[in-house]
């Protein structure tokens, strides 16, 4: 039952993703990519438990490294996307 | 169910809604900045509530990792040049893949550490963990190679040698075998190390054989992989927010990959395997001669023009010419001329690369047009200026059957009244394909560094 429920989430999220992204115009494709860099840093959420729970030394080390890498994506991704999007301006009439 | 777990899960639902709303707002330049902010709120919420989890008992390693990673990410985001965005996105794709790989490894290690965990975890968990490690590893090594090629650390040429195809097939077969051994004997770490090694090696060979001009496809695909790896990690750990969010990124990357392939009239397999095929023989000689125009004379033509179209390509990024182009645009507009820009989907080294460079130079985004918008009214332009673009304006795609790029949709610059091609030399372009545009009667080649050429024209305007 649990697996079926997870697969349902997979299916719905995939379709939703396609519908959402299809509407992003070509001019924003680079910010979309750096923005999805940031979003893929969601691995951070999973890594937190690995780094902070009471487990073997190896698990803690691996988890901490995962936290560091995912943090690069989250912080760097959102900041650079914001920097880019601030540059997009409409023509002044 | 535990109260805290309920709170965490409700917060995850809200976070997912914020991510979705953020992506929705990204569908227009006016709201995109807000969208990015909404998305970052979702991330903040997801991270903060996760820290409430009672399993997490020590915070100093988390803090250490976050401070190190966050500081590096912030520094990179502030200091990166806009021309260098493709390699930065590539590097970040790689970090995303590596993070998922490490998370998969840590999770497996945690399961093996506790007897209860190892017994209760079913085949589903091990299959998804294996998949996480595999996709994460391929993403990491592939992205590092892509980063090397884009940043010039290594040659951007496709590295091809005999046996490459066999090597790849060998990798795929080995992956299936190791997957079976891993799932049937999950407590033996050797299979995990084999999987990591195979993934890293496969990412390396698969990317090293792809040339620089195909990089937009590769970056988009690796972007997708980084999301799929995160999603697989979510399946393995039963974390729904990872599943949903990872798939949003996966879908985004796949759509961009598809757009890039369509814009080159090639299938994904063709791009990925192109390094394995023999180069295409030239399809007959092009007749005519190249007419060269000095930059000073180009000025007189531009001064008389009413409508100008600029078609930028990767060469504009290399020459850092976007600010000079913007200055020329202002001078032309003051002179009563309209200036438009036409952006081909695969211009540059990543999707939307040219748009960001022009935005950086303060070119309003509503003056940038897509290929299909400008082609029907190409005859109306007095002058088309092609800056550092080649294949995306190559009429061979329409006229020469047998040309390697035949059938690719191109910006039909040759139908304008006059075409200026700003180029270093009159040689063939990146793909090594001859460009009949250079030999057309209405084409003038303005040779030299694109930035210098435009600055010369700008000076002529100043002298008036």
Give Cα B64 distance to the centre of its chain. 31
Catalytic residue among B340, B391, B449, B452: B391
Give Cα B459 distance to the centre of its chain. 36
Q: Among B50-59, B311-320, B325-334, whose mean pLDDT is lowest?
A: B50-59
For residue B77, the chain A residues in CB contact (below 8 A) are 75-80, 83
Q: Among A23-27, B53-57, B255-259, whose mean pLDDT is lowest?
A: B53-57
Q: What is the CATH number of domain B295-463?
A: 3.40.50.1220
Residue B391 annotated among the catalytic residues of the structure: yes
Any long-range contacts for B325-333 (C-beta under 8 Å, 24+ apart)? B325/B358, B325/B361, B325/B363, B325/B387, B325/B454, B326/B358, B326/B361, B326/B362, B326/B363, B327/B454, B327/B458, B328/B454, B328/B457, B328/B458, B328/B461, B329/B363, B331/B458, B331/B461, B332/B302, B332/B305, B332/B308
Is any Cβ of chain A less than 8 angstroms from the Cβ of B82? yes
For residue A58, the chain B residues in CB contact (below 8 A) are 106, 109
Average pLDDT, chain B: 88
Complex prediction ipTM? 0.94
For residue A43, the chain B residues in CB contact (below 8 A) are 96, 99-100, 103, 229-230, 233, 242, 246
For residue A71, the chain B residues in CB contact (below 8 A) are 65-66, 68-70, 73
* Per-residue pLDDT reduced to its tens digit, B290-318: 888 888 888 999 999 999 999 999 889 98
* Per-residue pLDDT reduced to its tens digit, B412-439: 999 999 999 998 876 655 455 678 888 8
Closest CA to B272 of B353, B158, B174: B158
Q: Rounded to two decimals, what is the model's pTM?
A: 0.90
B226: nearest CB among A22, A40, A47:
A40
For residue B67, the distance in angstroms to the closest alpha carbon of chain A comes to: 8
Contact A78, B36 (CB under 8 A): yes
Per domain, the residue ranges of chain B are 1-79, 82-276, 295-463
Is any Cβ of chain A less than 8 angstroms from the Cβ of B137? no
């Amino acid at each position: 039952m649990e697996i079926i429920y997870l697969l349902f989430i997979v299916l719905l999220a995939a379709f939703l993703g396609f519908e959402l992204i299809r509407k992003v115009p070509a001019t924003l494709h680079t910010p979309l990519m750096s923005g999805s860099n940031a979003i893929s840093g969601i691995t951070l959420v999973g890594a937190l438990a690995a780094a902070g729970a009471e487990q073997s030394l190896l698990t803690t080390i691996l988890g901490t490294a995962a936290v560091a890498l995912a943090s690069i994506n989250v912080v760097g991704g959102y900041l650079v996307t914001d920097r880019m999007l601030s540059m997009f301006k409409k023509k002044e009439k | 169910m535990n109260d805290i777990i309920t709170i965490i899960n409700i917060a995850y639902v809200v976070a997912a809604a914020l991510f979705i709303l953020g992506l929705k707002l990204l569908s227009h330049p006016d709201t995109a900045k807000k969208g990015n902010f909404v998305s970052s709120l979702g991330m903040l919420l997801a991270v903060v509530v996760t820290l409430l989890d009672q399993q997490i008992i020590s915070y100093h390693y988390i803090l250490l990792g976050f401070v190190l990673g966050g500081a590096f990410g912030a520094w990179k985001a502030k200091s990166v040049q806009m021309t260098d965005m493709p390699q930065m996105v590539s590097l970040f794709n790689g970090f995303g893949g590596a993070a998922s790989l490490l998370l998969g490894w840590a999770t497996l290690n945690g399961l093996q550490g506790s007897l209860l965990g190892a017994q209760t975890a079913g085949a589903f968990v091990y299959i998804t963990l294996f998949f996480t490690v595999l996709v994460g590893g391929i993403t990491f090594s592939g992205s590092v190679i892509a980063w090397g090629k884009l940043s010039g650390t290594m040659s951007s040429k496709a590295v091809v040698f005999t046996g490459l195809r066999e090597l790849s097939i060998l990798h795929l077969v080995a992956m299936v075998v190791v997957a079976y051994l891993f799932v049937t004997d999950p407590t033996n770490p050797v299979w995990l190390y084999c999987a990591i090694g195979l993934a890293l090696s496969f990412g390396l060979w698969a990317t090293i054989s792809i040339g620089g001009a195909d990089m937009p496809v590769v970056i988009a695909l690796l972007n997708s992989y980084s999301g799929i790896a995160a999603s697989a990690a979510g399946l393995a750990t039963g974390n729904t927010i990872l599943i949903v969010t990872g798939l949003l990124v996966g879908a985004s990357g796949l759509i961009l990959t598809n757009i890039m392939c369509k814009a080159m009239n090639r299938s994904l397999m063709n791009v990925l395997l192109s390094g394995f095929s023999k180069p295409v023989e030239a399809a007959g000689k092009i007749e005519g001669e190249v007419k060269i125009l000095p930059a000073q004379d180009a000025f007189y033509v531009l001064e008389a023009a009413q409508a100008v179209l600029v078609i930028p390509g990767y060469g504009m990024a290399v020459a850092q010419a976007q600010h000079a182009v913007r200055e020329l645009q202002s001078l032309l507009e003051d002179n009563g001329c309209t200036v438009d820009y036409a952006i081909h989907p695969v211009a540059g080294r990543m999707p939307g690369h040219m748009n960001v460079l022009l935005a950086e130079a303060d070119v309003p985004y509503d003056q940038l047009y897509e290929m299909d918008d400008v082609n029907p009214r190409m005859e109306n332009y007095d002058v088309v200026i092609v800056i550092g673009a080649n294949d995306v304006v190559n009429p061979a795609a329409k006229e020469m059957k047998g040309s390697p790029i035949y059938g690719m949709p191109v910006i039909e610059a040759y139908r304008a009244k006059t075409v200026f091609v700003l180029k270093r030399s009159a040689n063939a372009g990146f793909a090594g394909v001859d460009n009949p545009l250079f030999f057309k009667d209405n084409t003038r080649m303005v040779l030299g560094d694109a930035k210098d050429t435009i600055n010369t024209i700008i000076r002529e305007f100043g002298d008036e």
